[in-house]
Amino acid sequence: MVATMPSSVPTMECESPHFLMAQRQLDEIAAEMGLPSQLHERLRYPKRSMVVTIPVRMDDGLVKTFTGYRVHHDVALGPAKGGIRFHPEVNLGEVASLAMLMTWKCALMGLPYGGAKGGIRCKPWQMSLGEQERLTRRYTSEIINLLGPDKDIPAPDMYTNEQTMAWIMDTYSINVGHTVPSVVTGKPVSIGGSLGRHEATGRGVAYCARRAVKHHNLNVEQPTVVVQGFGNVGSIAAKQLYSSGYKIVAVSDVHGGIRNEEGLDIPRLMAYMSEFGRVAGFPNSTTISNAELLSTKCDILIPAALGNQLREDNMESLDCKIVVEGANGPTSPEADIYLHEKGVLVVPDILANAGGVTVSYFEWVQGLMQLFWTEQEVNERLEQIMGRACDRVFALSQERTLRPRMAALRLGVSTIAEAKRLRGLYP
């Protein structure tokens, strides 16, 4: 158990279990690297947090009020960058912890960004497209002073997508009086999005999985893979690994899981998913529960759905050699330590799912230059950046006998610490 730092900052509204977990990770690496205590204390909290009330006219004519958040954790390296999620469990603590992770992730990947995150507490699946559009536009208008291509650049996250980004870009552009595509990333290609952005996170996850197989000296001809979550990240990671000859033996979505030890036909499963909206019932597969999915024997387990899925109460049942974290925060600190001690290689979220923000960076650069790259150029540059980050994390992890998560954090935190030291304290 890692001791938390005694703090002179009074308890903040963001101190939820999610946020305390992010702080504990920082505390652990700060102690290991000897981070100066004043800087450590500053980095334990967001730079700024905005909570907004969003009135929305619903389809029945009544007005319903929602709560929204946008948090900037640190902006020492550049504009704040981070996704916006729509989910009923969104709260200030969750958003603040994800903003902190974004700071470390961008720094680790060498991107000129600070860390941000946003969200609206809502049930998007119970809302019409028109209601979602009005919600998105009013939220954008409420947080507009934070946004801008040099200030804060949102992207999609859970239950938001290219269309959501198009609405944000349009609302911002109308308010400032001219079109500003670079205020968001993850937007449709026809209005300035990047080729390869939609697939980037899943592609990066698959890339890390292949790199981890080599690093772990996994000498199997056809590594077996289990994927929790078959949305953007999970389905694309599965498809990429399937194309590389890996055997995907089980996958799941919010409705349940399926298994076939001989391997699932992923292109067919993707077609089935678009027709039926779920993986359950796919021909030649057995239906399994979420718990059965996680304990399925495999070489590589990819959690690509929610946070806190591999925990103290199920870590002993896991039967894999490598975990590649597609989702944000899927492994609790206890499970991370347990798996590491058991010899399981855990590729942490800030590395494994950084493909999305990396290609978001490419999209922003292309938009600012008004010069667009081919999909091949995007994918090659993504592989270069992901490869370099994987090598640095695995090397530091070995050199200092750190868990890969701590090695990745150390690289991210030391970059921020150096930037803050050089910039100094104002005034």
User: Which residues here bind ligand NAD, judged by CB under 6 A?
Assistant: 156-159, 201, 228-234, 252-254, 290, 304-306, 326-328, 353, 356
Q: Is 187 a catalytic residue?
A: no
Query: Based on CB atoms, which residue is closest to ligand NAD, 35 or 122?
Result: 122
Residue 300 near residue 215 (C-beta atoms within 8 A): no
How distant, in Å, are the alpha carbons of 68, 265, 325, 330 from that of 241?
A: 36, 12, 15, 20
Q: Which of 81, 117, 187, 239 is catalytic?
A: 117
Least distance to ligand NAD, CB of residue 198, Å: 8
Where would I find the H helices in 192-310? 197-215, 232-243, 266-276, 290-294
Least distance to ligand NAD, CB of residue 56, Å: 21
Distance from C-alpha of 252 to C-alpha of 226, rounded to nearest angstrom: 9
Angle in degrees, 0-180, between the axes of helices 375-399 and 404-423, rounded to the nearest 10: 100
Least distance to ligand NAD, CB of residue 326, Å: 5
Query: Based on CB atoms, which residue is closest to ligand NAD, 220 or 254?
Result: 254
Distance from C-alpha of 89 to C-alpha of 274, rounded to nearest angstrom: 26
Query: Based on CB atoms, which residue is closest to ligand NAD, 46 or 356?
Result: 356
Residue 155 near residue 363 (C-beta atoms within 8 A): no
Least distance to ligand NAD, CB of residue 61, Å: 30
**Residue of minimal Cβ distance to ligand NAD:** 231
DSSP notation for 82-111: EEEEE-TT--HHHHHHHHHHHHHHHHHHT-
Least distance to ligand NAD, CB of residue 327, Å: 3
Query: Based on CB atoms, which residue is closest to ligand NAD, 91 or 353?
Result: 353
Distance from C-alpha of 358 to C-alpha of 372, rounded to nearest angstrom: 16
10 Cβ contact list (under 8 Å, min separation 6): none
Query: Based on CB atoms, which residue is closest to ligand NAD, 30 or 385?
Result: 385
- Annotated catalytic residues are 117
